[in-house]
Amino acid sequence: MVKDNSLSDRIFNICNITFMLILIVLTLYPFWYSIIGSFNTGTDYARGGVYLWTRDFTLSNYKALFSDNALIKAFGVTISRTIIGTVTHVLFTSMFAYAFSRPNLKLKNAYATIGLMSMYLSGGLIPYFILLNSLGLYNSFLVYIIPALFSFWNVILFRSYFAELPDALIESAKIDGAGEYRIFFTMILPLSKPVMAAIALFTAVGHWNAYYDSMVYTLGSELQTVQLYILKLIQSTEAALLLANMSTSTAAGQGAVTTTTLQLAAMVAASLPIIVIYPFVQKFFIKGMLIGSVKG
């Protein structure tokens, strides 16, 4: 960066930093707002003015929230689909990408065409729904896993990383008698940790945040994900009211929990894992995004 200390330059710097600070506050404030609200008693919150700090501290919102079995179950569904879905997606897609990156693969152009078509064409919601229904995936846990196994976009990311690995490595393993599967599992996978991490994280966030498939392809609350649970809580005040009333009759005392503070607590509980983990894994996300942009 050029060093410049003229007056106009210093004014520019001050304005620029102020602008960035405003953006930081604008971005972070909504999260702060939900946190302080979720620790405030409901009736007190309803008077308004809980904008900077909790006024009437309570844990009742969280107690009420986690006394609901549906939420515990939803966390179970979301955690399982995130783990199983991420592992299977990364294995399935990276194996395809490895074979796709090998120069001696026959019919490569045909496969590339089919892959690209899968990125740009779609039959739309209804034909897809009919398909899942016919495959028996409707209202089954597998509807979260199987249709999410493969993504050609991620194949491109994997391949551009595999292509950077020295060819001599694979050739020498072949001379030693290793087959393609052995090379993939014992050499390529361990050497590709950065790209694996990046794609695994994107996939995991996708699974964690998913509610659409849960809403459209499952019924009832057995297979409901956390995000769908929250969406229902936000969209139907009755659902939240029911939960709030249930808690006041059992614990806490009148008015400690209202629909609004309960909704805030639910939002905090569901976003917390991402907010806590995110700063530590940020570099992988950025790397993943940039691998894609170089070749794609």
Partner 1 sequence: MTGTEQAQQTKQGRMGRLLRDKDQLSLQSMIIPGILFVFVFTFIPLYGVLIAFKEYNIVTGIKGIFEAEWVGLANFKEFVNDINFWNMLKNTLGINLLSLLITFPFTILFAILLNEVTSAKFKKLTQTVTYLPHFISWSIFGGLVISILSPSTGVVNYLLQKLGIIDQAIHFLGNPDYFWLLAVLTNLIKELGWGAILYLAAIAGIDQEMYEAAYMDGATRFQRIWHITLPSITGTIVILLVFQISNILNSGFDQFFVLQNPLNIDASEVIDTYVYKVGLQEFRMEYATAVGLMKTVIALFLLYLANFIAKKITGKGIF
Site for partner 1 in 148-187 (CB under 8 A): 149-150, 152, 155, 174, 179-181, 184
Task: Kindly state the smallest distance separating residue 71's Cβ from partner 1, in Å.
Answer: 14
The region of 14-22, 61-69, 159-167, 185-193 touching partner 1 under the rule CB under 8 A is 14-22
Using CA atoms, how far apart are residues 97 and 95, in angstroms rounded to an integer? Answer: 5
Task: Kindly state the smallest distance separating residue 140's Cβ from partner 1, in Å.
Answer: 15
Which residue carries 């304005």 as its tokens?
Answer: 15
Instruction: Say whether residue 104 binds partner 1 (CB under 8 A).
Output: yes
The SS3 call for residue 166 is coil
The SS3 call for residue 40 is strand
Q: Which of 53, 57, 66, 212 binds partner 1 (CB under 8 A)?
A: 212
Restricting to residues 119-148, which ones interact with partner 1 according to CB under 8 A?
120-131, 133-135, 147
DSSP symbol at 223: T
Instruction: Say whether residue 66 binds partner 1 (CB under 8 A).
Output: no
Task: Kindly state the smallest distance separating residue 76's Cβ from partner 1, in Å.
Answer: 18
The one-letter code for the residue type at 58 is T
Q: Is 72 exposed, middle or buried (0-12, 13-18, 19+ CB in 10 A)?
A: exposed
For residues 191, 195, 198, 200, the Cα torsion angle rounded to the nearest 10 degrees is -70
Residues present in the chain in total: 296
Cβ–Cβ under 8 Å, residues 39 and 57: yes
Is the CB of 164 or the CB of 251 nearer to partner 1? 164
The region of 68-76, 158-166, 244-252, 280-288 touching partner 1 under the rule CB under 8 A is 280-288
* Chain centroid, CA 243 distance in Å: 27
Is the CB of 21 or the CB of 251 nearer to partner 1? 21
The region of 81-89, 192-200, 244-252, 259-267 touching partner 1 under the rule CB under 8 A is 259-267
The region of 56-64, 80-88, 91-99, 244-252 touching partner 1 under the rule CB under 8 A is 91-99
Instruction: Say whether residue 34 binds partner 1 (CB under 8 A).
Output: yes
If you write DSSP's letter for every residue of 195-208 in order, what string do you get?
Answer: HHHHHHHHHHHHHH
Q: Which of 70, 75, 79, 92 binds partner 1 (CB under 8 A)?
A: 92
Using CA atoms, how far apart are residues 124 and 126, in angstroms rounded to an integer? Answer: 6
